[in-house]
Amino acid sequence: MNNLTALRYSIDRNALRMTVQTLKDLTDRPPAGSNRLVLFAHYDPQDEVDEYVRFYLEKLKEIGSVIIFVSGSPNLKQEAAASIASLCAGIYTCNSLSLDFGSWNLAWQQMQKKGWNLGWFDQCIFANDSVYGPLFNLSEMFSQFVGADMYGVTENMEYFSHLQSYFLVWDIHPATQKFIEGFWRDFRYIVDKNELIKCCELGISARARECGLRQKAYISDSAARTAAEKFQDHEHSEEIKGRDVNNTLYLWDTLISHLRCPFLKAEVPRRNRYGSVKIRDLSAFLNTWTDYDQQLIVGNLERLGLTQNYGCDGRAVHRELSAGVGMKAEEF
């Protein structure tokens, strides 16, 4: 079915028919005073909108964002949508196809359907729910988003330099408006995940570079590595010395504590696939370095049944995360 859907889209370019639910439709004009447009991609296996997502949306709203929310959970519960209705200009669901880029494309087409013009906004943001945060006030990061056309939180050097797509920002002017409109005009739904990463995750930065757009990461790969060099006993020091890695997964603690990264990839506490011992002391770490309510993470992990990924029983993890026991900050 996904292959047939992708093929049909390649012919008629109509993503609107992929809409499963319209839980809140866009009005003809965005709310007054909104200078940032956010296309927000969501997915939840239990058809919920988690508390950590609501918090994230609230913080985006506080910086003058109008949010178009598209969930890849087609049967998102109406009460879940109602809980974020005041934060979002539009709420839609679709069958998950091409992951975040598919959801962003549907948000874009819903916006086009209503006649919204990208030129009405100062900035456009692509964001998703794959991160916990913001851990710090977003204005701190946005104050550094100057001197370029396209921005991201973190740079990834795997394959080649690119801005990680969980949070991308464009200053809107004729060149970037032309780029974004062209990107979605040429967009194709891709079923294979590796091909999707190549064409979209990597491709959007490559295409922007080819178009002459200047790119800037809030935290560059070199900045992350320089910070990590101060900790010769870091648990992943050998990996980062030997090759290019995804710093948000290997150096999550350094990014937050020494570079004030406003996000923690949710994959780190959910999956812990690189065997971080320090993640067991996440609450103590967050209490030391941020004001973020770690109960947002605890609640999400418990609801999804993922506390076992820490390698101990859920009750012990809950006590560690809630009580904040563990390593001192200087050990990170």
Top pLDDT among 79 and 233 is at 79
Task: Return the structure tokens found at 323.
Answer: 């009580």
Give me the pLDDT at residue 127, please.
Answer: 98
Identify the helix (H) or strand (E) that includes residue 79.
Answer: helix 78-82
Rounded distance between C-alpha atoms, residue 89 and residue 29, angstroms: 10
Range with the poorest average pLDDT among 2-11, 46-55, 79-88: 2-11
Q: Where residue 327 falls among pLDDT bands split at 50, 70, 90?
A: very low
Asked whether the predicted pLDDT for residue 177 surpasses 70, the reply is yes
Q: Where residue 7 falls among pLDDT bands split at 50, 70, 90?
A: low
Give me the pLDDT at residue 72, please.
Answer: 95
Give me the pLDDT at residue 251, please.
Answer: 93
Which domains does the chain possess? 2-219 (3.90.550), 221-331 (no CATH)
Could you read off the pLDDT of 278-305 as tens digits, one per residue?
A: 888 898 999 999 999 999 999 999 999 9
Using N-to-C axis directions, what is the helix angle for 221-228 and 252-259, rounded to 10°?
90
Please report the DSSP string for 202-260 in residue order: THHHHHHHHTT--EEEEE-HHHHHHHHTT-TT-TTHHHHHHS---HHHHSHHHHHHHH-
For residues 40 and 128, is the Cβ–Cβ distance under 8 A?
A: yes
Mean pLDDT value across residues 302-312: 69
Instruction: Give strand ranges (E) for the chain.
Output: 19-24, 36-42, 65-71, 90-94, 123-128, 131-132, 150-156, 162-163, 167-171, 215-219, 264-265
Q: Among candidates 8, 142, 158, 125, which has minimal Cα distance to 57?
A: 125
Mean pLDDT value across residues 254-282: 91
Q: Among candidates 252, 131, 108, 75, which has minimal Cα distance to 186?
A: 108
Place of tokens 């239990």: 46
Give me the pLDDT at residue 11, please.
Answer: 56
Asked whether the predicted pLDDT for residue 239 surpasses 80, the reply is no
Using N-to-C axis directions, what is the helix angle for 314-323 and 295-304, rounded to 10°?
170
Asked whether the predicted pLDDT for residue 257 surpasses 80, the reply is yes
Range with the poorest average pLDDT among 41-55, 242-256, 300-314: 300-314
How many CB atoms are closer than 10 A to CB 82? 13
Give me the pLDDT at residue 13, please.
Answer: 64
Longest distance between any two alpha carbons in the chain, whole Å:
57
Range with the poorest average pLDDT among 14-18, 112-116, 252-256, 298-302: 14-18
Give me the pLDDT at residue 102, please.
Answer: 92
Range with the poorest average pLDDT among 168-177, 211-220, 312-321: 312-321
Could you tell me which residues come within 8 angstroms of residue 51 by beta carbon, excluding any fewer than 6 positions away?
296, 299, 300
Classify strands 150-156 and 264-265 as parallel, antiparallel or unpaired: unpaired
Top pLDDT among 262 and 311 is at 262
Give me the pLDDT at residue 260, please.
Answer: 98
Task: Return the structure tokens found at 239.
Answer: 């990996």
Could you read off the pLDDT of 24-78 as tens digits, one per residue?
A: 999 999 988 889 999 999 999 999 999 999 999 999 999 999 999 999 999 999 9
For residues 13 and 66, is the Cβ–Cβ distance under 8 A?
A: no
As a whole number, the mean pLDDT across the chain is 87
pLDDT cut 90: percent of the chain above it: 68
